[in-house]
């Protein structure tokens, strides 16, 4: 086993995250004052007591912003610091600078912001009823749903809700900004998109982008939470630095991070599904009320991914799905691994579950009957190729010996009254590419140094998905050298410009391809030089494992010599590579096109055990069959599958955002917001990567891995529902994710209060 | 402010500081010692990113190393002790990579890496002092560490590797340390400290507690509520008084537990396990091993959380509190634990008084004890509701019972009506059902982020029944199962 320097630094505790960096000499610390109610019109900001605290205290408000007070690029609804109204509980209102972190925090507490209360909205359906949308609703359709419903043997409809999800990247948000050389600003930002921070900071400071440099080292986790929402902190630090002329650090404590930043969007949806007498799906309709929070952020791109994934891995000829971006007075919900797809897929799986019950058939059988096939055309008009839905589903059923397992669990349940086991299988079909077309581009800068070592810079941010390791592999493969010769440089806006955020699972696809392009360019130059050195035509020469070879024969020329000789002949050993995902198009008017480069397939089985008396449960087992194309790195892919599944399972069964009736986040600590720990994950978690097949649409035939496996967590929901139904066969459908112990017990006792209401009314009793 | 020089060993060197002993050790470690491998992930004991290993020479001369969350650790706790951080571990290995670190690399168990130092510290502590060197023991060792990236699969595999690599480590602490130093799992400074070669002249006795303005047990509640406490005089670390860390058999055959005994030590005490057989299995329901290593019984009680687990158990066990001044001088008094709580976070504790001992009386006749807890996550989660029961039995009949409940009122409760109801009842499904209904009617629940008022009442009812299915499965399980089935359908009818 070769050690990877990066990971080695991690385990030795030597990786420096933002708060670990040596602090520049005259550094100022900072803290934000958060709003203390959900909505209000600002009347007065009184900084007197804060300023009296210590001479180093400085209080910065929107009035101090030299440029444009606006972070929103899709919709201009996101001021850095609000000017007139605050729009959610926990919104940063004012920035305080001081000599120490403690002083800055106390100063922030002392600032008084007064205002008149305005009536807030928290429920997306209520916002929809008022027509309060961030952007107009979007609808995708195919076939003739109305006619299909009219002639169907079975029609079922209902409602499904899914809750938000806190990212809990272990490293909280943060940034350090430093004034440099007169009017330049240098920002170290914990962001997935340095170019986004650069553009926003330039706008806020009233500077051209060439005066703002943003650097990102590795992140202690991102998961989408630092795609757009790291920008605020980078910009605030930059603003503080600009105004004070000193370096400014802004690192959030966990509670401020949880209160102030956005999370996965909660959805409330209505669905209707129809099948013929044989259980073939005929039609599906859904209205998704996305709780977008107080501003647009990435909500528009997220709703489009929901719509694209509305029917999951199934073939349905008649579809009408509509997404509403509902404005509420909650933090602006944002990207989170899966980006709206899991929310859409949950609705589809809920509909199928209800339909199977109505038809009295095994939901697994119903799912199996309706899987996508090669050549099917999706409701948004994309012809599906290299489809592996059935292959993955069947292989999962075979591995789990589905029939026997089902029978065994049924007989266990028949003989156990106080304990029940539950099973569910969920397929996966996940589209890869940014749903916003223009974002599917990336750049890379590759240097080969005279000693033969290679340095690669791309837009890809390392945040635990180990994209660096993949890009190093692509580079090594393309240049024909051992991976130890390759180093990946941190991302800065100086080396690669106009990068897109590392997101949408496309980090290694796009950046890997750009690196590949640069490497191919350099390799071409090297091979031409090699031909001069060893004689004969360049064609047929290649570099393998650090040697120049012709066919299988070693030419006697090593990589190191070749590099040096190429350098001596005054040939450029650097190249910039660029990649724009080909073949993507989408007609927004018609809502038709091919927005994805390819799809990722798979299926998962989850088994749970329910304690009928207490309403508590444990996930006992999971088996995942997943399509990795030709994996660039199986260890990395395994980590991504397991990690995404854990997050999906947490979202489905455990993680619960709780807001008070007044819009205050109640689950604002890790003691009140629980995420999976080591005990929560099943001891029997098996991951099976599917037979490797080519994927010509991504780098070296690989497939994106970051987001798709999160979908498997949904199987956890339906497995528990299955167990609950064994305990209470007459129980209703219940599609209200996450399925927490409280909801489970309510199901078992037949009590279903309006979740959230009762709890909120009493507020938070500290325990 | 009066200042006191704290002296301790940080990895391999002795350190002295006059910083306030009540400030969180994490800040000192990161800022003053510059050891930034110890991370801050939550500052409230929930993530384990800040874990360090703390070594101490005990009263009896033995040495003990345990992991602790440094965000909840008073700097004063380092005094006279050995602090080992991730940097210290790395320094013991030739190329900076210990076998635990190498296991992480081999299994690709470090992704974003932010949690990795904490996990490695926890697993190293497990090798150093874990009683169970098996898969379950490894899982327990990391139950206080959160990782958002890996889903824990690779971390489990790394632990399995370690098990294969270190079979049969010696049970004797000193021999274990030597073996692990030889294997470069830990640096040689541990063996030196254990033998008194580091901080050798540390014969200083801690100053006797003077006027106390602030008592800290383990700090696991205090630092959650005071993330940045202001320095003040009169700071008293309960654990600095050796008398408060002892557990002894009392004259009447019961147990006298010092208020600064940690949850970990409490459950490991052989006298307790013989007094209340089976109580050991409830250790796992309390927080995580990181927190159990620090949290004290006295702190659990004095914090007065309505859902304090130990308090709930102790109330059912009929525990009494010995209350006095910190040094034990002056008048002292004894009160039943349940009457210690006057209202939400209001205690029967005068100025200058502390809890010194917890007295667990011996039961008069054969008895059974059980504890139940409902929380969102099965491990490391604060209860929505907890309850404990003590049943003194004469054959199939309850002679006397005590039922406690937490999370169903402003304070932990002894349920008097339910407890009285138990006297003379037969052990049966009917008794369980009636008791459960009575208990649920006896409380006034309120809702919060951990559970609505309705849920709390319902789950209390179920947990009370669970006492019986757990203790007398054969006698009551069928009856209760039947009962549940009937109830569900009748409530369905109500709705129609
Ligand atoms: C991550 C995490 C998980 C937790 N999980 C649980 C759980 O599962 N169950 C549970 O019950 N609790 C849990 N807790 C709460 C806490 O750990 C316990 O209540 C613990 O027992 C408190 O003890 P301590 O010694 O650390 O208290 P400290 O923080 O030291 O003190 C708490 C309070 O009691 C006072 N005090 C301490 N000792 C005395 C004394 N001898 N006399 C008078 N006053 C005193 C202090 O002044 C302070 O006000 C958890 C806490 C954390 C951080
Ligand atoms: S920082 Fe999270 S446990 Fe200490
Ligand atoms: S590796 Fe990222 S949190 Fe564990």
pLDDT per position as a tens digit, B118-127: 999 999 999 9
Query: How do residues A694-721 score in pLDDT, each as one tens digit?
Result: 999 988 999 999 999 999 999 999 999 9
Q: Which of A30, A73, A66, A149 is nearest to A500 (CA)?
A: A73
Nearest ligand to the C-alpha atom of residue A7 = 3
Active-site residue flag, A23: no
pLDDT for res B365? 86
Cβ of residue B219 lying under 6 Å from some atom of ligand 1: yes
For the CA of A220, the nearest atom of ligand 3: 2
CB contacts < 8 A (A, B): 304
Which of B43, B142, B491 faces A750 most closely, judged by CB atoms? B491
Query: For residue B386, what is the nearest residue in chain A, using CA coordinates?
Result: A614
Rounded to the nearest angstrom, the minimum Cα separation between A519 and chain B is 26
Least confident among A4-18, A111-125, A319-333, B235-249: A4-18
pLDDT for res A51? 98
Query: How do residues B5-48 score in pLDDT, each as one tens digit?
Result: 999 999 999 999 999 999 999 999 999 999 999 999 999 999 99
Among the listed residues A99, A553, A707, A742, the single catalytic one is A707
Q: How many CA atoms lie within 13 A of B480 on its CB side?
A: 32
User: B374, A749: Cβ pair inside 8 Å?
Assistant: no
pLDDT for res B60? 86
Nearest ligand to the C-alpha atom of residue B291 = 1
Contacts of B143 in chain A (CB under 8 A): 677-679
Average pLDDT, integer, range A442-461: 96
Statement: residue A262 has pLDDT above 70 = yes
Pocket test for ligand 2, best of B27, B30, B36, B43 (most atoms within 8 A of CB): B43
Using an 8 Å Cβ cutoff, are A670 and B382 in contact? Answer: no
- Give the global pTM: 0.96
Query: How do residues B391-438 score in pLDDT, each as one tens digit?
Result: 999 999 999 999 999 999 999 999 999 999 999 999 999 999 999 999
User: A614, B466: Cβ pair inside 8 Å?
Assistant: yes
Pairing of strands B367-374, B385-394: antiparallel
Between the CA of A88 and the centroid of ligand 2 the distance, in Å, is 28
pLDDT for res B205? 52
pLDDT for res A758? 30
Question: What percentage of chain A carries pLDDT values higher than 70?
Answer: 97
Residue A248 to residue A30: CA distance in whole angstroms? 7
Statement: residue A767 has pLDDT above 80 = no
Rounded to the nearest angstrom, the minimum Cα separation between A658 and chain B is 6
pLDDT for res B3? 77
pLDDT for res B207? 59
Statement: residue A5 has pLDDT above 70 = no
What does each C-alpha distance from B133 to B122, B149, B160, B165 come to in angstroms? 13, 26, 10, 11
Between the CA of A282 and the centroid of ligand 3 the distance, in Å, is 44
Number of H helices, E strands in chain B: 18, 18
Residue A26 to residue A106: CA distance in whole angstroms? 20
Nearest ligand to the C-alpha atom of residue B321 = 1
Statement: residue A266 has pLDDT above 80 = yes
Cβ of residue B357 lying under 6 Å from some atom of ligand 1: no
User: B115, A170: Cβ pair inside 8 Å?
Assistant: yes
Statement: residue B129 has pLDDT above 80 = yes
For the CA of B119, the nearest atom of ligand 3: 4
User: Max CA-CA distance within chain A?
Assistant: 84
Between the CA of B100 and the centroid of ligand 3 the distance, in Å, is 16
Residue A650 to residue A150: CA distance in whole angstroms? 39
pLDDT confidence band for B326 (50 / 70 / 90): confident
Average pLDDT, integer, range A423-436: 95
User: A671, B382: Cβ pair inside 8 Å?
Assistant: yes
Average pLDDT, integer, range B192-197: 95
Q: What is the CA radius of gyration of chain A?
A: 27
pLDDT confidence band for A733 (50 / 70 / 90): confident
Between the CA of A338 and the centroid of ligand 3 the distance, in Å, is 18
Query: For residue B372, what is the nearest residue in chain A, using CA coordinates?
Result: A614
Rounded to the nearest angstrom, the minimum Cα separation between A317 and chain B is 37
ipTM value for the complex: 0.95
pLDDT for res A414? 96
Question: What percentage of chain B carries pLDDT values higher than 90?
Answer: 85
Q: Coil, helix or strand for A208?
A: coil
pLDDT for res A716? 98
Statement: residue A63 has pLDDT above 50 = yes
Contacts of B86 in chain A (CB under 8 A): 12-13
Q: What's the mean per-residue pLDDT of chain B?
A: 93
Instruction: With both helix axes pointing from N to C terminus, report the angle between A559-568 and A507-534 in degrees, rounded to the nearest 10.
Output: 80
Query: How do residues B274-318 score in pLDDT, each as one tens digit?
Result: 999 999 999 999 999 999 999 999 999 999 999 999 999 999 999
Average pLDDT, integer, range A725-754: 88
Residue B484 to residue B487: CA distance in whole angstroms? 5
Which of A3, A647, A683 faces B105 most closely, judged by CB atoms? A3
pLDDT confidence band for A2 (50 / 70 / 90): very low
Q: Coil, helix or strand for A455?
A: strand
Pairing of strands B320-324, B333-336: antiparallel
User: B382, A751: Cβ pair inside 8 Å?
Assistant: no
pLDDT for res B210? 65
Residue B19, token pair as written in the block: 């910083």
pLDDT for res A753? 46
Residue B220 to residue B294: CA distance in whole angstroms? 7
Task: Report CA dihedral (B404, B407, B411, B414) to the nearest 10 degrees.
Answer: -10
Contacts of A643 in chain B (CB under 8 A): 111, 148-151
Statement: residue A1 has pLDDT above 90 = no
Least confident among A166-175, A558-567, B476-485: B476-485
DSSP state of B171: S
pLDDT for res B206? 60
pLDDT for res B486? 65
pLDDT confidence band for B493 (50 / 70 / 90): very low
Average pLDDT, integer, range A204-225: 96
Contacts of A172 in chain B (CB under 8 A): 41
Rounded to the nearest angstrom, the minimum Cα separation between B106 and chain A is 6
Average pLDDT, integer, range A63-83: 96
User: B448, A169: Cβ pair inside 8 Å?
Assistant: no
Query: How do residues B433-466 score in pLDDT, each as one tens digit?
Result: 999 999 999 999 888 888 999 999 999 999 999 9
Nearest ligand to the C-alpha atom of residue A221 = 3
Average pLDDT, integer, range A655-673: 96
pLDDT for res B330? 78
Between the CA of B114 and the centroid of ligand 2 the distance, in Å, is 12
User: B477, A417: Cβ pair inside 8 Å?
Assistant: yes
Query: How do residues A6-42 score in pLDDT, each as one tens digit?
Result: 789 999 999 999 999 999 999 999 999 999 999 999 9
Residue B258 to residue B297: CA distance in whole angstroms? 8
Q: In DSSP terms, which residues pair with A33 in a beta bridge? A: A94
Statement: residue A3 has pLDDT above 50 = no
CA-closest residue to ligand 1 atom 27: B299
Neighbouring C-beta atoms of residue A102, cutoff 10 Å? 15
Neighbouring C-beta atoms of residue B16, cutoff 10 Å? 8
pLDDT confidence band for A437 (50 / 70 / 90): confident
Statement: residue A760 has pLDDT above 50 = no
Q: Which of A237, A255, A254 is nearest to A246 (CA)?
A: A237
Pocket test for ligand 1, best of B263, B282, B291 (most atoms within 8 A of CB): B291
Between the CA of B11 and the centroid of ligand 1 the distance, in Å, is 28
Q: Which of A494, A52, A30 is nearest to A246 (CA)?
A: A30
Which of A168, A638, A749 faces B458 most closely, judged by CB atoms? A749
Least confident among A156-160, A313-317, A438-442, B323-327: B323-327
């Amino acid at each position: 086993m070769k050690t990877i320097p990066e990971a080695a630094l991690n385990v030795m505790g030597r990786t420096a995250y933002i708060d670990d960096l040596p602090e520049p000499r005259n550094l100022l610390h900072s803290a934000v004052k958060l709003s203390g109610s959900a909505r209000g019109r600002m009347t007065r900001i009184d900084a007197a007591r804060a300023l009296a605290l210590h001479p180093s205290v400085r209080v910065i408000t929107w009035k101090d912003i030299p440029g444009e007070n606006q972070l929103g690029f899709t919709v201009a609804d996101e001021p850095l610091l609000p000017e007139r109204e605050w729009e959610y509980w926990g919104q940063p209102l004012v920035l305080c600078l001081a000599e120490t972190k403690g002083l800055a925090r106390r100063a922030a507490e002392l600032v008084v912001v007064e205002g008149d209360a305005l009536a807030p909205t928290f429920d997306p359906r209520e916002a929809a009823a008022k027509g309060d949308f961030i952007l107009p609703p979007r609808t995708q359709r195919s076939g003739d749903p109305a006619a299909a419903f009219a002639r169907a043997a079975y029609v079922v409809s209902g409602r499904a809700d899914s809750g938000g999800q806190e990212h809990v990247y272990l490293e909280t948000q943060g940034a350090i900004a430093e004034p440099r050389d007169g009017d330049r600003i240098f920002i170290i930002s914990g962001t997935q998109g340095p170019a986004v921070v650069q553009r926003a900071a330039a706008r806020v400071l009233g500077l051209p982008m060439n005066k703002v440099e943003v650097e990102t080292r590795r992140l202690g986790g991102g998961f989408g939470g630092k795609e757009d929402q790291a920008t605020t902190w980078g910009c605030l630090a930059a603003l503080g630095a600009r105004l004070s002329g000193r370096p400014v650090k802004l690192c959030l404590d966990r509670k401020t991070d949880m209160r102030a930043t956005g999370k996965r969007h909660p959805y409330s949806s209505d669905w209707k599904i129809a099948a013929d007498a044989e259980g073939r799906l005929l039609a599906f309709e859904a209205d998704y009320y996305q709780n977008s929070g107080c501003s647009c952020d990435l909500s528009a791109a997220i709703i489009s991914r929901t719509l694209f994934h509305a029917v999951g891995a199934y073939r349905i000829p008649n579809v009408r799905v509509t997404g509403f971006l509902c404005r509420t007075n909650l933090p602006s919900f944002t990207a989170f691994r899966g980006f709206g797809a899991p929310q859409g897929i949950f609705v589809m799986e809920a509909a199928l579950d209800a339909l199977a019950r109505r038809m009295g058939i095994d939901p697994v059988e119903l799912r199996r009957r309706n899987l996508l096939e090669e050549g099917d055309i999706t409701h948004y008009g994309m012809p599906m190729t290299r489809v592996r839905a059935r292959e993955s589903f069947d292989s999962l059923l075979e591995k789990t010996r589905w029939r026997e397992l089902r029978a065994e669990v049924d007989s266990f349940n028949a003989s156990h009254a106080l304990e029940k086991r539950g099973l569910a299988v969920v397929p996966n079909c996940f589209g890869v590419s940014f749903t916003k077309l223009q974002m599917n581009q990336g750049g890379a800068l590759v240097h080969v140094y005279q000693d033969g070592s290679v340095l690669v810079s791309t837009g890809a941010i390392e945040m635990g998905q180990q994209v660096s390791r993949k890009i190093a592999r692509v580079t090594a493969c393309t240049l024909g050298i051992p991976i130890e010769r390759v180093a990946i440089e941190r991302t800065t806006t100086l080396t690669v410009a106009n990068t897109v955020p590392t997101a949408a699972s496309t980090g290694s696809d796009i950046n890997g391809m750009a690196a590949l392009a640069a490497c191919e360019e350099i390799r071409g130059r090297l091979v031409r030089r090699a031909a001069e050195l060893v004689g004969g035509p360049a064609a047929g020469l290649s570099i393998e494992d650090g040697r120049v070879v012709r066919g299988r024969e070693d030419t006697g020329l090593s990589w190191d010599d070749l590099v040096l000789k190429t350098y001596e002949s005054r040939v450029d050993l650097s190249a910039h590579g660029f990649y724009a995902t080909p073949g993507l198009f989408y007609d927004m008017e018609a809502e038709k096109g091919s927005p994805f480069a390819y799809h990722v397939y798979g299926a998962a089985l989850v088994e749970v055990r329910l304690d009928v008396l207490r309403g508590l449960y444990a996930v006992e087992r999971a088996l995942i069959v997943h399509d990795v194309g030709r994996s660039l790195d199986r260890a990395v892919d395994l980590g991504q599958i397991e990690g995404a599944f854990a997050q999906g399972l947490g979202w489905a069964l455990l993680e619960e955002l709780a807001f008070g009736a007044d819009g205050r986040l109640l689950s604002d600590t890790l003691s009140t917001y629980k995420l999976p720990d080591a005990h929560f994950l099943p001891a029997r978690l098996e991951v099976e990567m599917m037979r490797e097949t080519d994927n010509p649409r991504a780098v070296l035939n690989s497939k994106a891995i970051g987001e798709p496996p999160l979908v498997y967590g949904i199987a956890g929901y339906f497995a528990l529902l299955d167990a609950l139904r064994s305990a209470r066969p007459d129980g209703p459908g219940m599609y209200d994710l996450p399925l927490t112990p409280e909801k489970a017990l309510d199901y078992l006792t037949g009590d279903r209060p309006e979740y959230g209401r009762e709890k909120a009314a009493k507020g938070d009793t500290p325990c | 402010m009066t200042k006191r020089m704290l002296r301790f060993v940080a990895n391999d060197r002795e350190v002295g500081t006059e910083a306030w002993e009540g400030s969180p050790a994490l800040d000192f470690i990161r800022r003053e010692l510059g050891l930034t491998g110890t991370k801050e992930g939550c500052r409230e004991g929930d993530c384990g990113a800040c874990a360090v290993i703390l070594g101490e020479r005990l009263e009896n001369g033995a040495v003990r190393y345990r992991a602790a969350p440094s965000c909840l650790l008073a700097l004063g706790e380092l005094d006279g002790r050995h602090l080992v951080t991730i940097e210290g571990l790395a320094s013991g290995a030739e190329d900076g990579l210990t076998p635990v670190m190498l296991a992480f690399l081999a299994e690709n168990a470090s992704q974003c890496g932010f949690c990795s130092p904490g996990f490695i510290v926890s697993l190293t502590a497990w090798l150093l002092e874990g009683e169970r060197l098996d898969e379950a023991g490894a899982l327990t060792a990391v139950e206080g560490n959160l990782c958002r990236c890996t889903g824990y699969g690779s971390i489990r595999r790394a632990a399995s590797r370690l098990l294969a690599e270190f079979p049969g480590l010696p049970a004797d602490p000193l021999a274990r340390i030597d073996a692990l130093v030889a294997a470069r799992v830990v640096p040689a400074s541990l063996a030196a400290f254990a033998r008194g070669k580091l901080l050798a002249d540390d014969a200083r006795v801690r100053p006797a507690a003077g006027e106390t303005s602030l008592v800290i047990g383990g700090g696991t509640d205090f630092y959650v509520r005071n993330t940045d406490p202001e320095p003040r005089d009169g700071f008293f670390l309960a654990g600095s008084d050796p008398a408060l860390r002892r557990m002894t058999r009392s004259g009447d055959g019961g147990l006298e537990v010092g208020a600064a005994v940690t949850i970990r030590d409490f459950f490991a005490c052989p006298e307790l396990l013989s007094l209340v057989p089976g109580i050991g299995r409830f250790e796992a329901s309390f927080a995580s091993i990181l927190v159990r290593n620090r949290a004290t019984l006295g702190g659990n009680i004095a914090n007065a959380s309505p859902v304090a687990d130990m308090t709930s158990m102790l109330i059912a066990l009929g525990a009494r509190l010995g209350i006095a001044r910190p040094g034990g001088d002056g008048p002292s008094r004894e009160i039943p634990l349940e009457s210690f709580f006057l209202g939400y976070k209001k205690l029967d504790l005068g100025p200058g008084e502390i809890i010194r001992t917890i007295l667990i009386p011996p039961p008069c006749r054969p008895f059974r004890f059980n504890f139940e807890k409902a929380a969102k996550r099965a491990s490391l989660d604060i209860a929505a509701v907890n309850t404990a029961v003590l049943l003194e039995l004469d054959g199939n009949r309850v002679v006397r019972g005590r039922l406690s409940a937490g999370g169903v009122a402003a304070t932990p409760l002894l349920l008097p009506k339910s407890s009285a109801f138990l006297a003379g009842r037969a052990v049966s499904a009917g008794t369980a059902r009636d008791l459960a209904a009575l208990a649920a009617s006896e409380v006034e629940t309120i809702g919060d982020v951990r559970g609505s008022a309705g849920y709390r009442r319902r789950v209390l009812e179920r947990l009370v029944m669970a006492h019986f299915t757990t203790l007398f499965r054969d006698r009551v399980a069928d009856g209760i199962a039947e009962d549940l089935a009937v109830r569900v359908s009748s409530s369905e009818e109500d709705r129609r």
